[in-house]
Amino acid sequence: MPIVPSRSARTRELLGRLASASAAERDSAVAGLTLLGTRVLLPLGAFLPAAGLAARLAALEVLERIEDPAALALLLTLARDADEGVSLRALEAAGERPDPRTVRVLGAILSEPGPAGRRRAAARALARLQAKGFVEALEPLAERLLDEREEPGLRAAILDALLTLEPPLAPRTLRPVLKRLASSSEPELAARARSTAGAAVEDRLAEELTSAGLSAESAARTSAALARRGAAAIPALRRSLDRLGPLRPGADPPSLRARAALHEALAALGSRVALFDLRESIAAHPRAAMPALLRAASRIGDASLAPALARAVAEDEALLDACAGTLAAIVARERLRRTSAALKSVRPEHRAALDLLWERARRKAPPRRPA
């Protein structure tokens, strides 16, 4: 009678191959352990604490393939793995396993301090559980979303996840959440709550940036929210700038500050779509807007702004120091020389001011590193 190897010996042999340096060996072990099913869970649990990264990833693949609820405990253990890649993959798999244990662990990961990527992955997994009809998953999401002390990026990720659910959340569930968020101190969330159409969010934020009486702190928060929207915010900012029209003599301080705030937001996104208006605004040198206009110019660092700086200083010498700081940033970025074409285009009546600017900018420039 032939001797048949025991299942326990076979399991140990397959577990050992999970740690192989050969991907083919690991794949073969994953297939063999998957065929053994739930019988491998106990030895797999004992194997994991001392397993290396490649072995843990292979074990995770086994757990993904074993759909029995008994595999969930190990999957949730790996969701807290020290390696980010293991953790994120385990969290994604956990989002397919509706179970009270899943909600408890994912809710804890979402609520605890930890890597931003891990917390956002937990939020996405909870949202998928909600979409599968596991309504308990909504509570930890709503708790983080409505907490004004929470990190804005995480709150935005949660809201995006909830608004893109398939099937969508019932209006009676979503409506009170959006009502609360509409008065949030975080401008991106408030804008998104007022309009769930993605393109409208950027427009609302740009409008908020130009609203009268906006405090410096609120403007900074709104600009940060626009920066998080990325390139999608650029057309909305340009539309708001177009609505202000060309800069006119005697413009009131609120409209000047709004123009400057839009330029700062565009500069933060690295956009030069409104470079002409920025040049014209600096050349007009409105006192109420100059600090923000110069910050935008420093960040853009375009050589064509130099003549506008020279004109501003020629007409208001009190701006010399501030404009020199901006010119120093432009010189560093564009590697300008005194003979560069951009500087030659300065009008004759502004060249004395340019000389002052150039000398002051040289003093502000960082020392060059030795070659």
C-beta pairs of 247-252 under 8 Å, 24+ apart in sequence: 247/277, 247/280, 247/281, 247/284, 247/286, 249/284, 251/286
- Which amino acid, one-letter code, is at 151? E
Instruction: Give whole-number Cα distances, 361 to 279, 300, 330, 331, 368, in Å.
Output: 19, 17, 10, 8, 14
Report the predicted TM-score, pTM, of the whole model to 2 decimal places.
0.56
- Which amino acid, one-letter code, is at 325? G
Task: Please report where in the chains the tokens 């208001």 appear, as a residue.
Answer: 316
Determine the pLDDT at residue 369. Answer: 47
Q: Does residue 301 lie in a domain region?
A: yes
Q: Does residue 148 lie in a domain region?
A: no
Task: Report how many domains make up the chain.
Answer: 1
Q: What is the pLDDT of residues 170-223, one digit of tens each?
A: 777 888 888 899 889 888 888 888 776 444 678 878 888 888 777 778 888 888
Instruction: Give whole-number Cα distances, 78 to 94, 240, 304, in Å.
Output: 10, 48, 55
Residue 94 exposure: Cα atoms within 13 Å on the Cβ side: 34
- Nearest in space to 342 (alpha carbons), one of 331, 332, 353: 331
3-class secondary-structure state, position 95? coil
- Which amino acid, one-letter code, is at 326? T
DSSP state of 197: S
How many beta carbons lie within 10 A of that of residue 134, not counting itself? 17
Rg for the chain (alpha carbons), in Å? 29
Q: Does residue 111 lie in a domain region?
A: no
**Regions in the chain scoring below 50 on pLDDT:** 1-6, 197-199, 369-371
Pairwise CA distance, residues 59 & 57, whole Å:
5
Q: Does residue 298 lie in a domain region?
A: yes
Instruction: Give whole-number Cα distances, 126 to 47, 98, 130, 158, 192, in Å.
Output: 28, 9, 6, 9, 20
DSSP codes, 17-79 = HHT-S-HHHHHHHHHHHHHHGGGGHHHHHHHGGG--HHHHHHHHHHHHH--SGGGHHHHHHHT
Q: Does residue 263 lie in a domain region?
A: yes
Contact (CB, 8 A) for 228 and 269: no
Distance from first CA to last CA of the chain, Å, rounded? 81
State both tokens at 309.
């700086």
Assign 3-class secondary structure to 205-236.
Answer: HHHHHCCCCCCHHHHHHHHHHHHHHHHHHHHH
Pairwise CA distance, residues 65 & 100, whole Å:
20
Q: Does residue 314 lie in a domain region?
A: yes
Contact (CB, 8 A) for 144 and 161: no
Q: Does residue 27 lie in a domain region?
A: no
Determine the pLDDT at residue 227. Answer: 86
98 φ/ψ angles, rounded to the nearest 5 degrees: -60, 120
| Residues counted in the chain | 371
CA angle 117, 118, 122 (to 5 degrees): 115
Q: Does residue 329 lie in a domain region?
A: yes
Residue-range definition of the domain harbouring residue 310: 231-366
Determine the pLDDT at residue 7. Answer: 63
167 upstream amide cis, omega within 30 of 0: yes
